[in-house]
Amino acid sequence: MMITPNWPAPENIHALTLTKDDSIADLPRNVDLRLLQQVHENKIIEFPTPEIELKADGAYTHQANIACTIKTADCLAILICSHDGQEVAALHGGWRGLAQGIIAQGVKKFQAPAQELIAWLSPAICPQHYEVDQQVFNAFSGLEHCFHENRPGHWLCDLYAIARMQLQQAGIERVFGETHCTFEYEEELYSYRRDPTDPGRLLHVIWRR
């Protein structure tokens, strides 16, 4: 069951999430696709790149038929495109990347002003199923309202709320998104918290023609 974002992207923008039933082989052959080695930091790679080792948590391109992709199992993927359909990016929104400002880094790559970008938030773990400790809470100074204290030293963390706040701070006003919790939709979605031994990942892909 491929998920396609419900967002007002231009007609030449293709975006989708591959779930448990889908295969990378289902994607069009003419789209160049290179997977990142995600390391929970904030580096963004611009495609095409001569680099062999793609240690990064975001990809950006303004060229046609080059895919930007992010793999997740509970983390958020953030897909962004410009209103003119010329630029796309995919960002890995785990707590570490978000705390290190990966959204601001990603928005900076665009030639288009932030007001002309739209963003889509992928399925991710919902706050009810995402309890975090003091280290995570402390990493989001000023965003305490995105956490709900659950028991002493532990908080329920709303990754969606954090991403929406940071997108707004970066100047993106139009944000769309999924509400499917990865932890809850066992049949379709991968969840690290539910099954840490499952190496499967959702693949979020965006490119332009």
| Centroid of chain to Cα 119 | 9
- Total residues contacting Zn ion (rule CB under 5 A)? 6
Which CB sits closer to Zn ion, 160 or 207? 160
Stretch 156-195 residues interacting with Zn ion (CB under 5 A): 181, 183-184
Please give the biggest Cα pair distance in the chain: 52
Of the candidates 4, 2, 1, the one whose C-alpha atom is nearest the C-alpha of residue 120 is: 4
Of the candidates 1, 28, 34, the one whose C-alpha atom is nearest the C-alpha of residue 14 is: 28
d(CA 73, CA 124): 7
Which CB sits closer to Zn ion, 172 or 202? 202
Stretch 108-137 residues interacting with Zn ion (CB under 5 A): 126, 128-129
Length of the chain: 209
Which CB sits closer to Zn ion, 80 or 126? 126
- Is residue 206 involved in binding Zn ion (CB under 5 A)? no
Q: How far is the CB of 188 from Zn ion (least distance, A)?
A: 13
Which CB sits closer to Zn ion, 126 or 189? 126
Going from the C-alpha of 9 to that of each of 13, 65, 81, the distances in angstroms are 6, 16, 7
Q: How far is the CB of 10 from Zn ion (least distance, A)?
A: 32
Stretch 61-80 residues interacting with Zn ion (CB under 5 A): none
Q: Which residues of the chain form contacts with Zn ion (CB under 5 A)? A: 126, 128-129, 181, 183-184
